Each structure stands twice: as C-alpha cells, then as structure tokens.
Structure 1
Amino acid sequence: MNYHSNVLETTQWSLKIDLKKDLESFMEKQMRKMNIPPSGTRSIMYEYFNTQKRVIFETPRKVVYSREFQCPEEYQEALSQFEQSARKGKNLNTYLSDQIRKPEKSDDLLNDWNIYHFHLTKRFREDGFAKRSDYQIFAWVTADCIYMIQIYPHKEAHLYTKKELLKIIEENWPELLKPHHIKGAVRLSVQLDDEQYGVLRDAHATSFVELGENKVYGLIGGGYMSDGSSGEAVRREQFWHNRLKLFEMVIRGNMPFISSVVRRQRGLEPSVYRFQLLWISNSADSLRLIEWNSHMGVEWFPEKGKLRIFTMEEELDFGGAFEGGVRLL
C-alpha cells in the first residue's frame, strides 16, 4: 500500500507498506520448506494456520497410555514401531492420511475433538505414507506428549464420532479437557449418541459433549465453520489481518514523528519510507519493522499503545534481540 502526507503537514513523506503481504510471503516460504505449498484455493494465511494445526512437528515426545488401551496381539510390533518413532521425534505425519499434504483440507475429528487418528501398520507406500490398515490409533498430541487413547478396527461403527474417546480422556487425563469445560452447564437438554454426533459433524454443526453431571465440554478442537474450515485457523487469520492493518494505521499516523527521528538519527529525509515486517514475538504483543532506506527499525507494543524507534545497529548489537519470537527476514 502507498500512502502520502497531506499538503498541510510540515514534513512531506511517502510510505510503502504492506504487512499482510510480508507475512504471507514468509508463510508461503515456510509451507514450501515443509513440502506443503499453498493450494491457491484459499488465502495463504488460512492455509498456513490450518497446516500448523494439522501437521505434527518432529520433536521427541513422551508416550502414555490410557487404562482402557488395548492392542491386538498381531499389531504389537507395529505399535512398538510407532511408539519408538514418537519417542525419537521422527515424522509421525506418515501415519496420517495423505490429505495432510493438502493445506486447504480439513480434519473434522481434529477440529471437533482435537483427536488424531493414525494408521496402525508397518507397511508404507513408495511416497512414505502408511498403507491403509485394519486398525487405527486414536491419540491426543501435545508439544511434548502423545496420549494414546484407544485402538479401534477400521470397520467400527461411527468410528470418528465415538463419545467413548472423550470419556477415556476425561477418566485418564482430565486436565486435557479442563480448558474446554463449559462453566455453569450442568446437563445438555438433548442427549446425543455416536450416530447423531456423526450427523452433526457431517453438517459441520458445532455441538457440545456431556460426559456426566457438570461435565459439559465444547470447541475442544477449536471447532469448524459451516463449510468445514478450521474455526481455529479462521480466527487466527482474522486476528492477524486486523492486527497488521492496525499496525499500518499506527505507522501512517505517526509518520511525522518517525521521520523526525530518522532525520535526527541519520541526517536523512528519504523521499520514500519503505517498511517491511521484521519480527513478531511469540505472544503477538510486540512487532518490529525495518525501514530499508534509513535502516531504522520500529517496534510496536499494541497492548501498551507504544512505539519504539531504533537503529538496526543498536538492535543487532544487543544480544538476544530476536529471541522469543519469529524473525521474518
């Protein structure tokens, strides 16, 4: 986007800034590194966040089993192989559906209940993905642990809408469901069985789950939109669209001040100020830009409503300047 000072301002300036484009360019590069390029059918930002939700990143994890967990004897070796891969931080995405390579696709079970389903097998295709198996592992995955819920036959009725999955989680690891507890909800007015949950999920209708008195849960996996899109990915896309647009407005509204600092620090009066997104803190409460013609930086603290203007030399000389966040350049 191009902006210009008005004729009444004492300092004249031109501004080139497109922070959404900067972020999407970074996201596209990251997706291509993962060999999951944007499909072109959805926004890059949505597909990036959808991919982040679906892909299991490679890192060593603990593996814990529910008390109810049972594995057929003839699949014990395949289960052991899966567990070792998880503990060693190997790629577990090869046990998922190959739809993981399509960033526009959604996983309804994951979006609804935050549960992954893996093929339980030792047989893999030439492209590295697991061959379809007779049994599937159902698990809850965090950054450091895989909670093994249960194994079911692929032919099991209502396989992906079995409320038993959530009951097992609640019985073994109630802390996983606690953030999704609906306070004040004692009972649901209508009790749904597995088949009815399947009908609702096929229609992408958001529903709550009751696991007992005062045990009503909702949006466990972030939910989905009416078209099946990940509700979590949509909300994150909207958040960053709004935050970056507001940052552009802040820069535009503070250009007289920014240009005065550049003039004082550098002795420059650039005809055009060209800003680019440089760094985002992990908590999204701090964002930094670089202005290429003056090599000055601007940091915005949205919650505090403050700006910090600095020289890039000062920033680079400061140890750990880019820790605690993502550097885009």
Structure 2
Amino acid sequence: MFTDKLNFESDLKFELIRLATQIGFKLSMNNSLDKMLVNYLNVHSKLIQPKLRNVKINPEFIKDIFFHTKRKEIEHIFNLAKIGGNLNPFQSKKLLQTNFHDHLKNEWNIYHFHLSLEINKKSGFVKQVDSLLFAYIDNENVFFLGESTHKQDIFSNIKWVEILHDHFPKILEPFKREETDDIKVASDYKNSALWRERLCMGFSKIRNTVYYHPGIGQATSGHNILIVRNSIGFLRWLHKLENQVADSYQELCIILGLSLDEAKFKIRIGEETLELIEEFSNHQLVKYPEELIGKEELIRQINSSNILT
C-alpha cells in the first residue's frame, strides 16, 4: 500500500541527526525517538541565539570591572552582546553534551561564560578557566550579574537571583506569587540544598518575596521541564498526523494534484518548528501544533471543486 511509505518517526530521527551534526554533536538512530528528541532539545535550548537584545550590567558590578583582572574579557563579552554577537563560544564546552544540565539556566535563565579570549580551534570554545561571568538572558534581554570563580555550589547560589530581585525587578515581576496554603516555599538555604540534589520545588523565596521560576525548572532526569513537555507534544502531534495522512492519503493526493506514486509525505524541522510537507511538490501542509484538515472536509472540497494547490 502507498501508506506503507509513511514513517514520520524515521523522518524526524533523520532530521534530528542532520541538525545535531550541524550544531556539532551526535545522536544515534539506535535510540528511541523520544530520547533523541529530548537530547536534541536539551542541547539546542542551551544555545544562545545571536540577536540584538537590551544589554545592562548590575550597577554594583560596574565599579568592580575597571580594576578587575579579567576586565578585557568582561568588556569583550559585554560588547559582543551589545552587537548581538555569538556568545556560545564562551559557554562551557560541555554545552554539546546531551546529559549536561545547568540548574541556573533551566530554572532562572542564568547562563555563565568563561572569561578567556583563547579559542580552542578543535572544540570551538574558549579555554575553560576558573573565572566565570554570570548573566540573565531571555529573548529580549542580557543582564550581566557578576563574576565568580568556579567553585562548589556556585551554580546553586541564590545570590544571582537576589541580584535580579534587587536591580532588575521588572524581569521577575511577572513571576511574583503570594505565599498561600497551597504554595509553601522552602527557605533559601533549603532550596539551595534541593538544587544540589537536582530537585526542583518550582517556587523560591527571594528576600521574602515568592517567585515561580521563569524557566519552570528541571525534571528528576535533569532535563528542563519545558523540554520534556514540548517533546511529548511533538510526539503526540506526529503520531496523530501520521494516522490522519494514512486515512486521507488518496484525498490529499487529489487536492495536491499528485498521483499516489508521486506523493511523498514527510516530517521535517523547519525554521520555526516541525512541519508536514509533501516532498515532490515541496508543499507545506501544516506545522506544529496545527491540525490537518479532516477527511470529510477534504472530500467536500474535492466534490465542490474547491481544490487548493
């Protein structure tokens, strides 16, 4: 049967491998699709997309920069952020490891950069040094918070969130919540202990103000909860779509003006999200999370000659 050509899981596996190779890490076809998808999304989520953002510095940190031993490196990264440059080479070289998780990034969108200008040509990352620059980054903003040495507990230290609370309150304002009987929040100290154990409460109390975490947090696997949720959504959409295409295969071919032999329906990863395309005509039918037109509506369109090509 012509529907035997449909294999959306295999399509997505090949797409994930293609994009992972472009980024610089490997995925195995031998793994299940859900594992491949979560691993790809984990790495991709850690990449900072180069773009112009609103860039600011913690005012208490500014006065320290002038005499800082890493002033040149700090200013270089700051100026790069100002022009929307690529900050990824300054991240940890573990960035491309699928099992590497960053608590501060997962829960608070706080990244860290190695303060070095010496690029390792093989890895593409700067030399991994003990001096780290911390910054809150979202789609619109880069707020440089401060510098610290690479030491135990630095990545679960509540002080970075306190800096956001003190100097960039508008960023945290949308995440503010009242503490109620349904929302009981551990002390800062206990939250830090939970972070070290890779556990997430979802809420934190910062200087007696309760916030839910902008990044929502991480699952016990270490993966960001949003990544796990998105992965489940993608897979449900993909499986439902394959059943719909199989059920309406002939009608879709008529709508597209293709023979049953010519048509080749596939899943690809587009610029924004997953897409269902017909490869022969390069026609995009739907993209995630859109739903395919039902079979009855396709038949109605065919019978009324209202055919979209």
TM-score class, shorter:
0.7 to 0.9
- Compute the RMSD of aligned alpha carbons: 3.4
Instruction: Show the counterpart of 1:174.
Output: 169
Output the CA distance in 1 between the equivalents of 2:282 and 2:44.
Answer: 32
The 8 Å contact of residues 39 and 102 in structure 1, kept in 2 or not, is answered as: no
Instruction: Show the counterpart of 1:276.
Output: 266
Instruction: Show the counterpart of 1:21.
Output: 10
The 8 Å contact of residues 15 and 274 in structure 1, kept in 2 or not, is answered as: no
Instruction: Show the counterpart of 1:159.
Output: 154
1:299 is matched by which residue type in structure 2? Answer: L
Q: CA deviation at 1:280?
A: 5.3
Instruction: Show the counterpart of 2:60.
Output: 68
Q: CA deviation at 1:15?
A: 4.4
Instruction: Show the counterpart of 2:238.
Output: 244
1:22 is matched by which residue type in structure 2? Answer: D
Instruction: Show the counterpart of 2:23.
Output: 34
Specify whether residues 257 and 124 from structure 1 end up closer, same or farther in structure 2 by C-alpha distance, changes over 3 A only: closer
Matches within 5 A, 1:167-246: 167-182=162-177, 184-186=178-180, 189=184, 191-194=186-189, 196-207=190-201, 208-212=203-207, 215-246=209-240
CA offset digits 1:20-40 (Å, max 9, x no partner): 322332232122112223267
The 8 Å contact of residues 290 and 297 in structure 1, kept in 2 or not, is answered as: yes
Count of paired positions: 289
Q: CA deviation at 1:221?
A: 2.3
State the SS of the aligned residue for 1:117: strand
CA offset digits 1:41-60 (Å, max 9, x no partner): 67331122111211123334
The 8 Å contact of residues 58 and 90 in structure 1, kept in 2 or not, is answered as: yes
State the SS of the aligned residue for 1:111: helix
TM-score, normalised relative to structure 2: 0.77
CA offset digits 1:141-179 (Å, max 9, x no partner): 233432111222334x63122222112212333343344
CA offset digits 1:94-115 (Å, max 9, x no partner): 2221101223322222113221
Output the CA distance in 2 between the equivalents of 1:280 and 1:125.
Answer: 31
The 8 Å contact of residues 16 and 37 in structure 2, kept in 1 or not, is answered as: yes
Q: Give ranges in structure 1 of 5+ residues lacking alignment.
A: 5-12, 316-329
Q: Does residue 82 of structure 1 match 2:77?
A: yes
CA offset digits 1:167-210 (Å, max 9, x no partner): 2212333343344444x43596454234x334312322112201
Instruction: Show the counterpart of 2:45.
Output: 53
Specify whether residues 210 and 288 from structure 1 end up closer, same or farther in structure 2 by C-alpha distance, changes over 3 A only: same
CA offset digits 1:273-301 (Å, max 9, x no partner): 531135758477xx442064xx4846247
Equivalent of 2:293 in 306, 316, 324: 306
CA offset digits 1:51-98 (Å, max 9, x no partner): 121112333444211223243522222211221222344432222211
Specify whether residues 123 and 282 from structure 1 end up closer, same or farther in structure 2 by C-alpha distance, changes over 3 A only: closer
Output the CA distance in 2 between the equivalents of 1:179 and 1:198.
Answer: 22
Equivalent of 1:290 in 258, 271, 278: 278
CA offset digits 1:96-139 (Å, max 9, x no partner): 21101223322222113221111223444454433343432111
The 8 Å contact of residues 123 and 131 in structure 1, kept in 2 or not, is answered as: yes
Output the CA distance in 1 between the equivalents of 2:28 and 2:108.
Answer: 26
Output the CA distance in 2 between the equivalents of 1:66 and 1:58.
Answer: 22
Over the matched positions of the two proteins, sequence identity in percent amounts to 20
State the SS of the aligned residue for 2:264: strand
Output the CA distance in 2 between the equivalents of 1:258 and 1:122.
Answer: 55
State the SS of the aligned residue for 2:70: helix
2:10 is matched by which residue type in structure 1? Answer: K
CA offset digits 1:199-254 (Å, max 9, x no partner): 312322112201255x3223432321212223222222111111111111222232
The 8 Å contact of residues 268 and 276 in structure 2, kept in 1 or not, is answered as: yes
Please state which structure has a larger fraction of its residues in helix: 2
Q: Give ranges in structure 2 of 5+ residues lacking alignment.
A: 302-307
